Amino acid sequence: MQQEQQEVCFCSLALGERYRSHALLLAQDIEKNLPGIYLLLLTDKPQEFSKYSHVLAFKHQQQSIGCYHDKRFVIAKALSLFNSCIFVDADIRILDKFLSEMKWLPGITAISCTSIAKHNQVYIDSVNDKYKPKRIRDIEILRKLAKKLDLDLEDTNIQFVMEMLFVITRQDGKEIEFLNHWNNIALYCELNGFYGAEGYAIGMAAAKAGLQVQWDAMQEIVYFKDWVQMQKIKKGQANADDTLIYFQQHEAIEYRQSSLLQKIKRRLEKFIGYYYRYFYLRIVSLNNFNFYYR
């Protein structure tokens, strides 16, 4: 059983005090509900997780401008140590046990996915007129990128993968090719100001690498994600009282009071970090000038 348990790990990105605080709660959930399962974290302060023997915390500084694409580094590290990794956002909670010896199919198993062609329409229609031009521009960026990658975004086999919870299992080395493509896609999107495109990047990189993408509701994993739970409550699919404590813990972290000095420090760090990463991105992308700039 112990050997089987070590075939898979949870993994996440925990940068900054807010996400480290969420990740500490996640670590406690896994320790309680899934003893023997590791949680692998890339974080700016690994020492904060040192008391948890099941947490593998590695030092990491944000590299992508919007932070979202740093998830690829988490996946890369996890797959270097485990056959499968369950990526979860740091603010997800694991509420119950599940069969730790579950076997995952090679490639990507997504708790939520749809064709990029279908998602594009939802992406535009889900906002009011004020934000539509920006989203139309984002999709135009994706179309130009797809052309460079010889992908057809109207192909219904190319998936948008909901990035909050998904599993990746090694697939004869194609996972490495997938990560390399994700890197190229991430740089291209960020160079063009589309920072939150990781769900697109995962699907496009998988299609380019030949990495399988399959949907699975993953009902075995009982989890809490604030906006997902809110949708269930509004639809009458869940009782608000059952997860009240998790909402309270989530809000206590999200709306933690900060002093004026702390706020100024964070804004200054964010400003400096943004321009540092922006200029670094410009320099790195020159290594493949034709792909990124023509």
Whether 294 is in a domain gets the answer: no
Q: Are 158 and 115 in contact (CB under 8 A)?
A: yes
Tell me, yes or no, whether 18 lies in a domain. Answer: yes
- Please give the pLDDT value at position 98: 75
Contact 175, 105 (CB under 8 A): no
Token pair in block for residue 55: 């947490």
Measured CA to CA, the distance from residue 125 to residue 128 in angstroms comes to 8
**pLDDT at res. 196:** 92
Residues 6+ apart with CB under 8 A from 191: 281, 282, 285, 292
Reply yes or no on whether the pLDDT at 142 is more than 70.
Answer: yes
Q: Is residue 139 part of a domain?
A: yes
Q: Is residue 216 part of a domain?
A: yes
Pinpoint the alpha helices (H) of the chain.
Answer: 2-5, 16-33, 71-81, 116-125, 132-148, 174-191, 198-209, 226-234, 244-254, 260-285, 289-293
Does residue 193 lie in a domain region?
A: yes
Q: Would you give the distance in Å from CA 42 to the centre of its chain? A: 12
First-last CA distance in the chain: 53
Q: What is the mean pLDDT of residues 226-233?
A: 96
pLDDT at residue 103, rounded to an integer: 81
Mean pLDDT of the region 30-42: 95
**pTM metric for this prediction:** 0.93
In sequence order, which residues have a C-beta less than 8 Å from that of residue 236 and are 6 or more positions away? none
- Residue 143 pLDDT: 97
Domain CATH number, residue 142: 3.90.550.10
Residue 274 lies in a domain: no
Q: Domain for residue 207, yes or no?
A: yes
- Farthest CA pair distance, the chain: 55
Above pLDDT 70, what percent of the chain? 97
Q: What is the DSSP string of 85-119?
A: EEEE-TT-EE-S---TT----SEEEESSEEEHHHH
Give the structural domain span for 25.
6-223
Structure tokens at 195: 């920072």
pLDDT(164) > 50: yes
DSSP state of 21: H
Joined tokens for residue 238:
């869940």
pLDDT for the residue numbered 3: 36
Position 293 in a domain? no
**Domain count along the chain:** 1
pLDDT of residue 6: 66
Instruction: Name residue 161's beta-bridge partners.
Output: 113
Q: pLDDT band at residue 97, thresholds of 50, 70 and 90? A: confident
> What is the mean pLDDT of the segment spanning 165-179?
97
Instruction: Say which DSSP state 75 is in.
Output: H
pLDDT at 100 > cutoff 90: no
Compute CA 267 distance to the chain's CA centroid, rounded to the nearest angstrom: 24
In this predicted structure, the answer to whether residue 5 has a pLDDT above a threshold of 50 is no
**Residue 195 in this model has a pLDDT that exceeds 50:** yes
Do 95 and 29 form a contact (C-beta atoms < 8 A)? yes
Based on its alpha-carbon atoms, the radius of gyration of the chain, rounded to whole angstroms, reads 19
Report pLDDT for 15: 97
Mean pLDDT calculated for residue range 63-84: 97
- % of the chain at pLDDT higher than 90: 91
Mean pLDDT for all residues in the chain? 94
pLDDT at 101: 62
